[in-house]
Amino acid sequence: MKRAKKKMSTLGSFLAYYRPHWKMFILDLICALFISLIDLSFPLFTRLAMQDLLPQRLYTPFFLIMGALLLSYILRAFLMYIVTYFGHMLGVRMEADMRKALFSHMQRLPFRFYDNHRTGQLMSRVTTDLFDITELAHHGPEDLFISVITIAGALIIMFGINLKLALLLMVLLPLGVCFTAAQRKRMMSASKEVKARQAGINARLESGISGARVAKAFVNEHYEIEKFEETNEFFRHSKLEYYKAMGVFMSGMEFIMTLFNIAVITLGGYLIMRGAFDYIGLITFTLYVGAFIAPIRKLTTFMEMFTNGMAGFSRFREILNIKPEIEDGPGATPIENVRGDIAFKNVSFSYNDKKSLLRHINLHIRAGETLALVGPSGGGKTTLCHLIPRFYEIDEGEISIDGRNIPDITIESLRSNIGIVSQDVFLFADTIKENIRYGRLDATDEEIVRAAKQAEIHDMIMQMEDGYNTMVGDRGVRISGGQKQRVSIARIFLKNPPILILDEATSALDSITEAKIQHAFEALCVGRTTLVIAHRLSTVQKADEIIVLTETGIAERGTHDALLKQNGVYASLYKSQFA
């Protein structure tokens, strides 16, 4: 019962995407109806010509009917153009709507979702899985509608031609229906497996291409090829299983449809021998058997299309059914005139309900102060900072900004007041200008230049051949690490947030480049509440307060000089770096 409701829910969700394009959908079905009626009329006119007009030498009516048939098939050709073009347009628009809905939904999902899903697999959901849906959206209702009309019309006419032959077909028809129902489940399961393996290949491709430089550096190209071949083999096997199921289905249906013809000719011949039927009647009936079988063949194709399309739609819905765990709380309002006073009160957090990474953290960062977080890797420094813009939801406790609990602040206004510069700078495959503009999309060119000057990268940009229109390449591979970092700093200057998070922002740079960029960071931090995560303790000595975060929580806190005097964890880290 639950499974039936789930299937109806899935089908209902699919049909809902027709609603915005209902006029095009109705046009498609009307044209399909006229195509079916024209196809059904041909055997009737053939029978009339052979049984009445030609034997009675009524040549003028005969040629008039043939002319009418020609005109009707010219009309049919025009209707087929409409069905093909506008039908595919309908499918493309529905696919675009689904892709937009899926991408928009994924943009609202939290960090935790992306922690658990590979990029290549998500790309497969947005591209490959939706391709089959386009064909189903176009051909599905049209093929089903044409087939039902044609089968029903052919049966009605065949009952009028010969009752016994029509009853014989009605007896054989359930055989095809039962066989189709039996094979549908197997094909659906095989199709879903193919799509899952296709997603695996996309994930492996994305990983292999993104990590090509690392593979070459370690001379591990052969290992990457082996991993891809393994995934490719799984895909090949699942594809063969699907084609095996499809082969059984198609061959079985072909046999059943051939059986229709043999049965009709056998019984029809017997009736002619008994004088209960005539040759012209049998020829006409046989033509209608052809008209009857054609939509059944169309239905077998529809079955394959429906299987692939609904398998893709099910995977599409799997993502849409994931609820964003982080949303605006009831009654949440924007925060304005942010000073940047941040407080952690008894905050605990864990990933996937496992062992807590942060336990009972109590921390107060006054507006305009700089707090440095140091300590061994895995202590939760980055995680603690990511809790402030609500990239993750805390398990217990409260985080407040200017005295307001962050769930009571709209997410958009919360994050618009926080700027983050991380070690792994992400630049879009666009120009330097557009990457800086990403900090505030409505910024003018003059504001972009001003931000670049504040980040001390303007002169470097002007020395490039295309200046601010220089393309940075995929992930910024065409510019240096220091230049990428300064572009990200310029982006934050442009955003101008009152709260700033610097997450290992210079750890990937050499000492000389770090010293140059440090000056830009110092200018960036002026007048802002700043959290600095650093392993290089030389970058945090001027902080107003330093906390040492370990697996057990906040182990030490104080200024640089005070922590050195304690001769604890911080002093040990400092001595190890400056020995």
For the residues 485-500, what does the mean pLDDT come to? 86
Alpha-carbon Rg for the chain in angstroms = 35
For the residues 4-31, what does the mean pLDDT come to? 77
Among 65-69, 173-177, 537-541, 569-573, where is mean pLDDT lowest? Answer: 173-177
Residue-wise pLDDT tens digits, 215-261: 655 566 777 777 778 777 777 777 777 778 777 777 777 777 777 77
pLDDT at residue 4, as a whole number? 47
Element (H, E) at 62: helix 59-108
Q: How confident is the model at residue 400 (pLDDT cuts 50, 70, 90)?
A: very high
pLDDT at residue 188, as a whole number? 67
How far is 360 from 380, CA to CA, in rounded Å? 13
Element (H, E) at 347: strand 342-349
Hey, where are the domains in the chain?
A: 16-320, 342-578
Residue-wise pLDDT tens digits, 519-540: 777 777 788 898 988 877 777 8
How far is 112 from 351, CA to CA, in rounded Å? 8
Residue-wise pLDDT tens digits, 173-193: 777 767 766 776 677 677 767
pLDDT greater than 70 at residue 508: no
Element (H, E) at 120: helix 119-126
Closest CA to 533 of 559, 505, 497: 505
- How many Cβ atoms from other residues are within 10 Å of residue 414's Cβ? 23
Residue-wise pLDDT tens digits, 304-349: 677 777 777 877 888 888 887 788 878 889 998 889 899 999 998 8
342-578 matches 16-320 in CATH topology: no
- The predicted model scores a pTM of 0.66
End-to-end CA distance of the chain: 71
The residue type found at 229 is: E
What is the CATH code of the structural domain delimited by 16-320? 1.20.1560.10
SS3 396: strand
pLDDT at residue 513, as a whole number? 63
CATH class entry, domain 342-578: alpha beta
